[in-house]
Amino acid sequence: TEIEVRRMILAIMEADDSIRIHKVDRKKLGSFFDSIQSSYRDNYYHNFEHGVCVMHASFVVSRISKLISTALFPIDLLALKLAAIGHDVDHPGTNNDFEINTNSHRALIYNDIAVLENHHASFFFITLRKPQCDALCALSRAEYTHFRKIVINSILATDMSRHGKHVQFLRDAADAYHRQDCEETIPSSQFLVDTCIHLGDLINSTHPDFSVVKKWGFRVIAEFKYQAALELKLGLPVSPSMTKLETNSDIAHSQLGFIDYVVYPLVAAACDLMPELNQLEINLAKNRQGWADLGTGSSSQEKEEYNRQRVHPIRNAGKVRTVTRATDAVSRKDEDGAV
């Protein structure tokens, strides 16, 4: 229920000392959440429920990871939680390509660069500066500058055009961190917050309950169909990834491709840097099989043929990695085409 959701949000906010240390105005914070919630549109996927899910997932990652939980300061945690819930505020239900191809007002404002992510970040701070929502009024100028920087950059980091570079940076960070060259190998607080939110944004595929995974998978497909219909109506080229999504087999193919080429490289790299997140990789392998089963029906022969046709980057998910760094680098090179 809405009351339960609000209680969870407040529990997450109160889970550490960031509110107390930075003297956050709780009444204004509640107004900020009200305003953010009402500003999320009634989209199939990019709605307030998605924002809450990303907030929860990002928070859980930040608590489970020993690296993140010890590296972030209270101001970073405050920025992480608020940025996560507001990262898609006022999302139109279409993607950046649609904004650019339609020459939208947002595309003109942001010069076709991370159009929606820039809009979300801007909308976030416009909301926060409203007198009734200014929950961070007690922050010093330096604290607010730091908070604003972390929030803006972490929302911009959800732009999928940056995904490949983020995965590679995670891999490089894991290599350096495990070598223990020096303290400088610890990633910056900005990158750790970016990683939490980017993981949270894509983490549905790692949920322990496949029925939840399937629900969100069908929601994103519905949003794809919505955009495809708009593109067709406007005489624009229909995005290839948003066509032929009518049957369970079509949808399963789409979700398997998303797991193989997008989610798995990110999760594997994150688990390499932060082994405490290993359960995500285990869940991902199970959910991948769930989509494969959905796409083939009950015939074991069909399932075998279906899986044979798919890329399988998920190997030994959940097992302790004992390979040498050189061997690991070879397997990563093989995966680069999937990033």
Q: Which pair of structure tokens corresponds to residue 178?
A: 């495990």
Q: Check 22, 46, 50, 198 and give the catalytic one.
A: 46
Distance (Å, whole) CA 30 – CA 42: 21
Instruction: Estimate the share of the chain in helix, then strand, then coil, as percent rounded to the nearest 5.
Output: 75, 0, 25
Given a contact cutoff of 8 angstroms between Cβ atoms, the answer to whether 194 and 163 are in contact is: no
Q: Which pair of structure tokens corresponds to residue 76?
A: 């970073």
- Give the H or E element holding residue 59: helix 48-64
User: Looking at residue 181, what DSSP letter applies?
Assistant: -
Phi and psi torsions of 220, nearest 5°? -65, -35
Residue type present at position 40: Y
CA–chain centroid gap for 207, Å, is 13
Task: Name every residue whose Cβ is closer than 8 Å to that of residue 284 and which is 6 or more positions away in sequence.
Answer: 205, 206, 259, 263, 264, 267, 314, 317
Active site residue 46: yes
Distance (Å, whole) CA 157 – CA 154: 5
111-140 burial, b if ≥16 CB within 10 A, otherwise e?
A: ebebbbbbbbbbbbeebbeeeebbbbeebe
Distance (Å, whole) CA 246 – CA 248: 7
- Phi/psi zone of residue 180: left (φ > 0), alpha (ψ -120 to 50 degrees), beta? left
CA distances, 249 to each of 129, 283, 299 (Å): 47, 21, 13
Would you please indicate which residues are annotated as catalytic (active-site) residues? 46
